[in-house]
Amino acid sequence: MRYAKLAIGALVALLVASDAASAQSNYPAKPVRIVVPTGPGGATDVTARSVAEFLTRALGETFVVENKPGAQGRVAATYFVQQPSDGYTLFMMASSQSVLPALYELPYDTLKDFTPIAVLSTAPTMLLVNKKLSVTSIDELIAYAKKHPSEITFGYQGGPPQLAGAGFGKMVGINAVGVPFNASAQALTELVAGRLTYIITTADVAKAQVEGGTLVALAAVGKKRAELFPDIPSLYELNYKLEGSGWFGLTGPRDLPPAITEKIFATLKEGYIGKAPQSALARSGLEPVGEGPAQFKARLSEAIERWQDVAAGLGIKRTKL
């Protein structure tokens, strides 16, 4: 009798494993949602819709974008980690998620509760000043700040611009006062009006203002120059080791079956990454990339640690939610 029960148990386990393997090989067998932590139109949303359109064509099932903006992405992320780990709810992660652990005590673990699939685009950021400031380089901005030490301000919405703006000031010896805004567009408006000293914003937004003659781009905030500003140096070139560029990557839930992760990435690698569907992202000011699961995990881990170090250096303590 005992052996019969063991045999039945083994058979059940085999059938369950077989069913799971079959479900993964047949993935997707129904529509898939891609949760986006911002509203329509932003870089995260643009990347998600580009990927959703491609995967719908490539895999024969509908991939639909579901926008859940709010609380710097915490609303969407908290919702996402509560979903089943079957691969039918995915998450388009923005680089801002790597900053949140340095600012808040989150109800989820950014490293453990998301399964990296692929980083698909980056959004270079630029440090801008008002043209009327008559500053055309980082050295000139530092010199100006030393002459006007009590007047230096930077604007931010939150997340990377907040820590990057403050981190830059500390790095170059500027006692800059951060001014928070509900939207990055408000900070941009205040800079154009001359009521801020500098801001850090995406290259596509920066280009429109620079070409309009109101603002001056001093540096790309990262390791390399922005493709939209090939003649403007990066902070790393100027020996200021600050990385503030944005990135956007597709993730699955915790414990997403490896077979599904591999199938999605293989599909993207075959027909999206480096191909025409992805190159269209450049029209939105994004720079296409194609990092796989291992590279994505390493990027996320490094970013979380880096921003925590920046926050600690600035004396920022995590807020309890």
Q: Same domain, yes or no, for 206 and 130? A: yes
Q: For 28, what's the count of Cα atoms within 13 Å in the CB-facing half-sphere? A: 23
Q: Same domain, yes or no, for 36 and 108? A: yes
Q: Same domain, yes or no, for 254 and 106? A: yes
Helices (H), the chain: 2-25, 43-59, 74-80, 96-103, 138-147, 160-172, 184-192, 203-211, 258-271, 276-279, 293-313
Block mean pLDDT (10 aa), the chain, length 321: 56 45 78 96 94 98 96 95 97 96 96 98 96 96 95 89 92 93 89 96 91 96 94 96 94 97 98 96 92 98 95 91 83
Q: What is the pLDDT of residue 23?
A: 54
Omega prior to 258 cis, within 30 of 0? no
Q: Same domain, yes or no, for 171 and 203? A: yes
237 located within any domain: no
12 located within any domain: no
Q: Phi, psi (5° rounding) for residue 27? A: -65, 135
Q: What is the pLDDT of residue 262?
A: 98
Of 176, 203, 220, which one is at a domain's C-terminal end?
220
CATH code of the domain covering residue 183: 3.40.190.10
Q: What is the pLDDT of residue 9?
A: 56
Condensed to tens digits (0 to 9), the pLDDT of residues 58-71 reads 999 999 999 999 99
Q: Same domain, yes or no, for 118 and 260? A: yes
Return the closest-CA partner of residue 111 out of 313, 311, 296, 317. Answer: 296
315 located within any domain: yes
Q: Phi, psi (5° rounding) for residue 43? A: -60, -40
Q: Same domain, yes or no, for 103 and 180? A: no
Q: Same domain, yes or no, for 186 and 216? A: yes
165 located within any domain: yes
Measured CA to CA, the distance from residue 74 to residue 35 in angstroms comes to: 12
20 located within any domain: no
CB 213 within 8 A of CB 145: no
Q: Same domain, yes or no, for 253 and 168? A: no
The tokens for 183 are: 């939207």
Q: Same domain, yes or no, for 257 and 114? A: yes
- Please tell me what DSSP assigns to residue 149: T
Q: Same domain, yes or no, for 260 and 309? A: yes
Measured CA to CA, the distance from residue 228 to residue 124 in angstroms comes to: 9
Q: Phi, psi (5° rounding) for residue 20? A: -65, -45
Q: Same domain, yes or no, for 205 and 191? A: yes
Overall domain count for the chain: 2
Q: Same domain, yes or no, for 150 and 215? A: yes
Sole residue written with tokens 């579901």: 66
Condensed to tens digits (0 to 9), the pLDDT of residues 29-64 reads 999 999 999 999 889 999 999 999 999 999 999 999
230 located within any domain: no
**Residue 130 lies in domain:** 125-220
78 located within any domain: yes
113 located within any domain: yes
Of 220, 237, 254, which one is at a domain's C-terminal end?
220
Of 177, 204, 220, which one is at a domain's C-terminal end?
220
CATH code of the domain covering residue 251: 3.40.190.150
Q: What is the pLDDT of residue 165?
A: 94
Q: What is the pLDDT of residue 16?
A: 41
Q: How far apart are the first and last CA of the chain?
A: 55
Helix (H, G, I), strand (E, B) or coil at 291: strand
Q: What is the pLDDT of residue 157?
A: 83
